[in-house]
A and B are shown apart, each in its own frame.
Chain A
Amino acid sequence: MGLRKFVDKIKPTFSEGGKLSFLHSTFEGFETFLFVPNTTTAKGAHIRDCNDIKRVMIVVVLALIPTMLFGMYNVGYQAQLSGCPELADAGVMALFWYGFLKVLPTIIVSYVVGLGIEFTFAQKRKHEINEGFLVTGLLIPLVMPVSTPLWIVALSTAFAVIIGKEVFGGTGMNVFNPALLARAFAFFAYTPQMSGEKVWYTVDGQTGATALEQLSTYEAGAELPYSLSDAFFGFMPGSVGETSTCAILIGAAILLFTGVASWRIMLSVFVGGLAFGYLFDVAGMTEFPAYYHLLVGGFAFGAVFMATDPVTSAQTNTGKWIYGFMVGALAILIRVVNPAYPEGMMLSILFMNALAPLIDYFVVERNIARRKKLIKNVK
């Protein structure tokens, strides 16, 4: 308990009247990060639960670990496939280590920039530091291609945290998912670096298209560029975290078991995607089967980790079904119909984020109307 004593010892310095009282928020943030706070909420409605925001966020981070680890291994594996001479006969661990070193800088940059901004704002506004960024900071490197230059990562993280979150009032008040906003910023601001033929390079000087990009130029009758098992386990190029549907499903199981994410949204996104996939398949607009859509690109990752964000998704149960279905359906619609954007998941989730409050409004209104009618009938 040496740490507890130490924290207690330095506490007065940061409390009101202490020498470093202007750093109170920072101190408070670290203290509650280390220990469960022993204070109780004084007023207002509150729920009695051992899980505060910090613990909920940690569960999401845990759920992200499998995809992150697999993503790192896959970076090494793809580098080996593309003929990197030093990896010619490397083992699993060597490949993982290679990918680890490639991905780690992105994670560090995203955390340092994002947390730096969050801490500054919290200090300025004399708020407590919120934990939302623990998840966002890990999501950002996972939705970026591994080759993204670090300054683009830093810039888009800063944009997402300031414009996407702080101007709306910080964690819990944001309209759009910050991690996706970071990706959207990078995608629209630096399109040549983020999409197209050149995006995937793990070895300096080598470029290639992501799996989705290859699919968008796929012609009927040819063999699918990646077999079903490769697509499911994730042995294909793509953003770090998005390739392995298998690892994402492990994360989904953790989220659902702990009740952190909504199963309604997750399920309805897949249903919506599958339904529209079949629709386009029947209409003859796509050449490959509908379920293949769910395996390649960021569809599964978006469905499990992005669409279920409790802040930006719909809040009512009926609203969640509509929201999720639309996310899946729009993602496939953009993929199939719009040749300019091979990946539709990011745009469809951001779009539905904007519509989520409207959906909730109509669901609530409808419920009120229904119950009014009920009262009338009883009379």
Chain B
Amino acid sequence: MKLSKNFTNPLAANNPVIVQILGICSALAVTVKLEPALVMGLSVTFVCAFSNLIMSLLRKGLPSRIRIIVQLVVIATLVIVVDQFLRAYMYEVSKQLSVYVGLIITNCIVMGRVEAFALGNKPWDSFVDGVANGLGYAFILVLVAFFRELLGSGTLFGIDILNRFGYVGNSLMLFPPMALIIIGCIIWVHRSLNKDLQEK
């Protein structure tokens, strides 16, 4: 597969969240505000890219029957690195994200890309694939968080946008069900733009 296509595909046509419906759980939990959503998206991008890279380097000498355990060790190590980094440098955000950083280990996108792509492709391709999938995930998170923060609290990144015009915050936007509905609407728009995704 060509590298450029390899990169753009997970961003739109084969987006992990809105086409493969993976990683929904964290997308509901961390999208109340833009800042944690962005940090979460970048963390997953980091973990996904480097776990893909490392597993791709290891793929030749790795017995198939222990591969899941090795994958878990690699992913868990990377997640702990991210977690410690956030605690050291972005303590406030890390507190908001709470357990969801640790739960990146269980994020289906990370393990899915390692299984489906990294174990059968060259390191550089795998790295690009990991970055692209992470960014595809981050993009949806930021999009959902944009609507939720703007309509829910009238702010963006904590900066007042709508409240100065007398906007009344929609508190339903702050509840997780609304994130699900927004993701549903994004999927709706995405599918009506891409006819080949529609079921017959």
A and B are partners in one complex rather than unrelated chains? yes
Residues of A within 8 A of B (CB): 163, 167, 185, 188-191, 193
Contact A190 B184 (CB under 8 A): no
Q: Are B171 and A191 in contact (CB under 8 A)?
A: yes
- Flag if A188 contacts B171 (CB, 8 Å): yes
Instruction: Evaluate contact between B181 and A188: CB separation under 8 angstroms.
Output: no
Expressed in whole angstroms, the Cα–Cα distance for A334 and B141 within the complex equals 35
Cβ-neighbour of A167 out of B168, B170, B184 (below 8 A)? B184
Contact across chains for A190 and B171 when beta carbons are under 8 A apart: yes
When the two chains form the complex, which single residue of B171, B175, B181 contacts A163, counting CB atoms closer than 8 Å? B181
Q: Which residues of B contact A190 (CB under 8 A)?
A: 168, 170-171
**CB <8 Å contact, A189 and B170:** yes
**Assembly CA distance A163 to B172 (angstroms):** 14
1/0 contact trace for B169-200 toward A, CB 8 Å?
Answer: 01111010000010010001000000000000
Do residues B184 and A189 form an inter-chain contact, with CB atoms below 8 A? no
Q: Could you tell me the distance in whole angstroms from the C-beta of B150 to the nearest C-beta in chain A? A: 14
* Docked-complex contact A189 and B181, CB < 8 angstroms: no
Decide if A167 touches B173 in the complex (CB within 8 Å). no
* A189 B188 Cβ-Cβ under 8 A: no
- A188–B175 touching, CB < 8 Å: yes
Q: Is the interface of A mostly helix, strand, loop or mixed?
A: helix
* Distance between Cα atoms of A188 and B173 in the complex (Å): 9
Within 8 A of A (CB), among B125-173: 168, 170-173
CB distance from A173 to the nearest CB of B (A): 16
Cβ of B175: which chain A residues have Cβ within 8 Å of it? 188
Question: How many residues from B make CB contacts under 8 Å with A?
Answer: 9
Closest B residue to A156 using CB positions = B172
Q: Is the CB of A185 within 8 A of B172?
A: yes
Q: Please, which residue of chain A has its CB at the minimum distance from the CB of B175?
A: A188
Seed contacts A188-B171, A188-B175, A189-B170; 13 additional CB < 8 Å A-B pairs: A163-B181, A167-B184, A167-B188, A185-B172, A188-B172, A189-B171, A189-B172, A189-B173, A190-B168, A190-B170, A190-B171, A191-B171, A193-B168
16 example contacts (A-B, Cβ-Cβ < 8 A) are as follows: A163-B181, A167-B184, A167-B188, A185-B172, A188-B171, A188-B172, A188-B175, A189-B170, A189-B171, A189-B172, A189-B173, A190-B168, A190-B170, A190-B171, A191-B171, A193-B168
A169 to chain B, nearest CB (A): 13
* Chain B residues within 8 Å of A191, by CB: 171
Q: Complex Cα distance A188/B172, Å?
A: 5
Instruction: State how many angstroms separate the Cβ of B73 from the closest Cβ of chain A.
Output: 42
Can you list the 8 inter-chain pairs with the closest CB atoms, starting with the nearest?
A: A189-B172, A189-B170, A188-B172, A189-B171, A191-B171, A163-B181, A185-B172, A190-B168
Of chain B, the residue at the smallest CB distance from A151 is B168
Nearest-neighbor residue (CB-CB) of B173 within chain A: A189
**Residues in A neighbouring B168, C-beta threshold 8 A:** 190, 193
Q: When chains A and B are docked, how far (Å) is the Cα of A195 from the Cα of B170? A: 15
A357 to B134, CA, bound (A): 38
Determine the chain A residues whose CB is within 8 A of the CB of B188 once the complex forms.
Answer: 167
Contacts of B172 in A (CB 8 A): 185, 188-189
- Please give, as numbers and ranges, the residues of chain A lying within 8 Å of B171 by CB-CB distance: 188-191
A167 contact set on B, CB distance < 8 A: 184, 188
Residues in chain B near residue A193, CB distance under 8 A: 168
Please indicate which of the listed interface residues B168, B172, B175 has the most CB atoms of chain A within 10 Å of its own CB. Answer: B172
With CB as the reference atom, state the residue of chain B lying closest to A188.
Answer: B172
**Which chain A residues lie closer than 8 Å to B170 at the CB level?**
189-190
CA distance A178 to B77 in the complex (A): 49
CB proximity of B168 to chain A, nearest CB, Å: 7
- The residue of chain B having its C-beta at the shortest distance from the C-beta of A155 within the complex is B170
- Chain B residues, CB < 8 A from A163: 181
CB of B75, distance to nearest CB on chain A (Å):
36
B159 → A minimal CB distance (Å): 23
The interface residues of chain B lying within 8 Å CB-to-CB of A188 are 171-172, 175
With both chains docked as a complex, state the minimum distance between the C-beta of A301 and any C-beta of chain B, in angstroms.
23
> A367–B178 Cα gap in the complex (Å)?
39
Chain B residues with CB below 8 A from A189, complex form: 170-173
Q: How far is the CA of A163 from the CA of B184 in the complex (A)?
A: 10
User: A193 CA to B172 CA in the complex, in Å?
Assistant: 13
Bound state CA distance, A163 and B177, in angstroms? 12
Q: Which residue of B lies closest to A191 (CB)?
A: B171
Q: How far is the CA of A163 from the CA of B185 in the complex (A)?
A: 9
Q: Complex formed: what's the CA distance from A203 to B188 in Å?
A: 43
**Of listed A185, A188, A190, A193, residue having the most chain B CB within 10 A:** A188
Assembly CA distance A167 to B182 (angstroms):
13
- CB A155 to nearest CB in B, in angstroms, measures 8
A207 to chain B, nearest CB (A): 17
